[in-house]
Amino acid sequence: MLKSFDYNNTPDFESGQILVIDKPFRWTSFDAVNKIRFLLRNYTHNRKIKVGHAGTLDPLATGVLIICTGKATKLIDEIQSGEKTYEAGFKIGATTPSFDLETEINERFDTNNITEEQIVNVAQSFLGTSFQTPPIYSAIQINGKRAYEFARKGKNLNLDEREITISEIKINKIDMPDVMLTITCSKGTYIRTLANDFGKRLDNGAFLYYLRRIRSGNYSIKDAVEITDFENYINNLERLSK
């Protein structure tokens, strides 16, 4: 894994490297992969170098995105199967069709009767293994198209439930209507759906307004590098090689 930018021992990206990237806000996971691939194609002069990510992160989320290069792409399935930890912000009292800020608020609710004790109890009710329906605004493929493509056209979708496990859910701050949490969960868990279900269990509404992945398997945000810093590193390696 590339943890620091060492100019004396340059990594072999074709043999395989694991990059822990702090994905920028509003970038898709594919944007990040495409940027890394572009940089490495120019640096290695190998147009066919393999680059892939181990676990999609939504455009409105930031944080740990594991990118594998070269032969390390064979490890993607293994890496993305690990638990994930997120910092999340739920806004109580409203819902959106996408369960996050990708779409506008479509319904509002009175939150005056909601207590902190209720919020704590609802959070704890998600612990353990359960079934979750992915949001229709997701990248799940249906007949060769992404679910969000159908959702944006107003088409109804019936997505299959998935088994998920929430191993830890901690409330960090309650400042109504905002609730800040740290959530550790299994692969395939949609925090957006969790926010929506959170609102339902309060007999109210909620949506996700903030999401940052701080851990993916054994890889932490402390190990992550900014894409701009990685780009500068590659550009410097190219200059040093001339």
Task: Tell me which residues are annotated as active site.
Answer: 58
- Residues 6+ away with beta carbon under 8 Å from 193: 99, 132, 133, 134, 135
Q: Which two tokens stand for residue 147?
A: 């679910």
Q: Which two tokens stand for residue 74?
A: 């064979």
Three-class SS string for 15-48?
Answer: CCEEEEEEECCCCCHHHHHHHHHHHHHHHHCCCC
Closest to 31 measured CA to CA, from 230, 234, 227, 231 = 227
Closest to 159 measured CA to CA, from 127, 137, 144 = 137
* Tally of CA atoms within 13 A in the half-sphere of 20 that contains its CB: 20
Closest to 86 measured CA to CA, from 146, 24, 1, 172 = 172
Closest to 60 measured CA to CA, from 220, 209, 179, 177 = 209
